[in-house]
Amino acid sequence: MKLRLWQVDAFSSKSLAGNPAAVVPLERWLPDDVMQAIAAENNLAETAFFTETGEDQYDLRWFAPTLEVDLCGHATLASAWVLFNVLRPSLVRAKFKTRSGDLAVERSDGGYAMSLPSGPTKPFSAPVKFVDALALALSTSPPSELHIAEKGGAGTRSLIGVWKTQDQIVALKPVGDLAGLLDQIGYRSLIVTAAGDGKPYDVVSRFFAPHYGVPEDPVTGSAHATLTPFWAKRLGKKVLYARQASARGGDLCCTDAGGCTILQGDCALYMTAEIEV
The CA distance from 266 to 270, in Å, is: 13
Residue 170's CB: how many other CB atoms inside 10 A? Answer: 14
Helical axes 221-235 vs 73-82, angle rounded to 10°: 120
Supply the residues annotated as catalytic.
46
Judge whether 194 and 162 are in contact, CB under 8 Å: yes
Residue 145's DSSP bridge partners are 162
What Å distances lie between residue 61 and 51, 168, 269, CA to CA? 9, 35, 20
Can you say how many angstroms the Cα of residue 206 is from the centroid of all Cα atoms in its chain?
10
Q: Which residues contact 236 (CB under 8 A, 6 or more apart)?
A: none
Judge whether 248 and 224 are in contact, CB under 8 Å: no
Tell me how many degrees the CA angle 36-39-42 measures, rounded to the nearest 5: 155
Residue 207: enclosing H or E segment and its boundaries? strand 203-209
- Helix segments in the chain, DSSP class H: 32-42, 73-82, 128-137, 166-171, 178-183, 221-235
The CA distance from 73 to 114, in Å, is: 8
The CA distance from 234 to 11, in Å, is: 25
Judge whether 263 and 116 are in contact, CB under 8 Å: yes
**Residues 35, 177, 19, 260, Cα dihedral to 10°:** 90
